[in-house]
Amino acid sequence: MTTTVLQVATRKGAWIFRADANRREWTVDGPHFLGHIISHLVLDPRDKTTLLAAAKTGHLGPTIFRSVDEGCTWKEAAQPPAFTKAPEGETGRAVDHTFWLTPAHSNEPGVWYAGTSPQGLFRSDDGGVTWSGFSSVNDDPQFREWMGSEKDGTPDGPKLHSITVDPRNPDHLYFGMSGGGVHESIDRGKTWRVLINGMEVPEGFGFDVTQPGFHDPHCLRMCPSNPNRIYQQNHSGIYRIDRPSDTWVRIGKNMPPEVGDIGFTMTVHPCDDNTAWVFPMDGTQVWPRTSPDGKPAVYVTRNGGEAWQRQDAGMPTEQAWWTVKRQAMCCDTHDSVGLYFGTTSGELWMSRDEGKNWECMARHLPEIYAVEALNL
C-alpha cells in the first residue's frame, strides 16, 4: 500500500501529514520545533526514514535538526553549515539560515546538499551530522560579486536554492541564486559555469542581461522523466531549457496577459516532461506578492509551456490575498498525481486529480515556507 507523507515547514515550526492509501484521511504529526523558523523539512527518499529540518529562531542562530525515525526523535547537527572564518581584520559572512536541503544522488546514501542565506553551498557526507562549504562558490570572488550584498535578494535575505542533482550522474549539479543566476557543475562542484542565456532581467533599469548578478531565478525543477528538461520560475517570467542547449526559452509569454508569468514556485509531473504547474502572483507596481486580483489559481501546461490552463476549482473565487512561496508546491507520484501547496496564510491545499479539483486540507497553520511530498 502506497502512502504519501507531506513535510510542511513553517515560520513557527514543522508538521508531518501522513495519508491513507486513497489520500482521503490524513493524520497530523506536529508541531515539531514549535516557534522555530523552519525553512525546509525533507524526508530522505533513499532510506525513507531520515528527516532533516533547517531551523533557526528569532533569537538563536541557525542549525540543522536530524531524525532517523521519521520525526519521533531529533538530534542536532554537530557541525551545521557555517562559512569560513575571515582572516583577522577582514569582514566575514555568517549563515543566517539554511534555506534549502537536497538529498544527493541515489547512489550516494547519506550525502546531502544545503543552500543558505547569505548565499552559500554546503555538503554533508554523513547524513547531515557535519557540513562543509564549497570554496568554489562560497569563497570565490566572482561568485561573491554575483551574490551582491544583503540588498540583492529577497526581503529576508538572498538565497541559494534549487540545488538539483542529475539522477544519471552525481557529478552533474545545478543551483539557483536569488539573485545571482543559474549555475551548473559537471565535476561535483569543483568548477561551475553560468547558465543564464535567454533569461530576462527587469526592464527599465539598464541592467546588463549578461551579468548573473542581475538575474533572479526563484525556482528550478528538473523533470524526473527527462533530466535534460528543466523548468524555471523566475522573477522575470517562466522558462524551460532542454539540454544540451544552453538557452532558456521564456514559455511564460504564453500565460494569459492579465495574469502574467511572475511567481515563486513551480512543480513538474513525475512522469510527463510536458506537464508543469505554476502559481502566479501579483508582481506589478510594489510587488504585492499576492494572488493576482485576490483570485488564487494554479496554471498547468500540458505541452511544455506552449499553452496554459487555469485550475482553480475549489479555491476561493475572490478576496483571497495569499500566495505560495518557492518551496511550497510539490506533487506526489500516484498514478493520478496529487498536487499540494501551502500558502502564506497557513493553509494547506491538495488536488488528487492533477489540479482539476482542489480542497483545503489544513487551515490556521503558521505561514508555510515549504511543502515536500514523498510516497512510501
Q: Summarize as ranges the residues that interact with another protein (CB under 8 A).
A: 57-61, 63, 76-78, 80, 82-86, 91-95
**How near is the Cβ of 191 to another protein at its closest, in Å?**
25
Residue 82 vs 249, nearer CB to another protein = 82
* Rounded-to-integer distance, Cα 52 and Cα 66, Å: 5
What span, in angstroms and rounded, lies between the C-alpha atoms of 180 and 118? 12
Q: Which is nearer to another protein, 92 or 204 (CB)?
A: 92
Query: In Å, what is the CA distance from 192 to each residue of 32, 171, 195?
Result: 37, 11, 9
CA nearest to 146, candidates 213, 215, 197: 213
Report whether 300 contacts 322 (CB < 8 A). Answer: no
Cα distance between residue 176 and residue 303, in whole Å: 24
Distance CA 284, CA 317 (A): 21
CB of 174 to another protein, least distance (A): 26
Least distance from another protein to the Cβ atom of residue 310, Å: 39
- To another protein, the closest distance from the beta carbon of 92 in angstroms equals 4
Cβ distance to another protein smaller for residue 21 or 94: 94
- Closer to another protein at the Cβ: 24 or 59? 59
Give the count of beta carbons closer than 10 Å to the beta carbon of residue 100. 24
Q: Which is nearer to another protein, 138 or 234 (by Cβ)?
A: 138
Closer residue to another protein (CB): 88 or 258: 88
The distance of closest approach from Cβ of residue 66 to another protein in the complex, given in angstroms and rounded to an integer, is 12
SS3 79: strand
Q: How far is the CB of 82 from another protein (least distance, A)?
A: 4
Can you tell me whether residue 15 is helix, strand or coil?
strand
Per DSSP bridges, beta strands 237-242 and 120-124 are: unpaired
- Cβ atoms 340, 373 nearer than 8 A: yes
Least spacing, CB of residue 143 vs another protein, in Å: 18
- Judged by beta carbon, residue 22 or residue 57, the one nearer another protein is 57
Q: Which residue has the cell 510594489?
A: 286
Q: In the numeric block, which cell numbers belong to residue 327?
A: 518551496
Biggest CA–CA distance in the chain, Å, is 60
Residue closer to another protein by CB (options 61, 314) is 61
Least distance CB 14 / another protein (angstroms): 15
Query: DSSP characters for 331-374?
Result: E--SSS--EEEE-TTS-EEEESSTTSS-EEEE-SPSPEEEEEEE
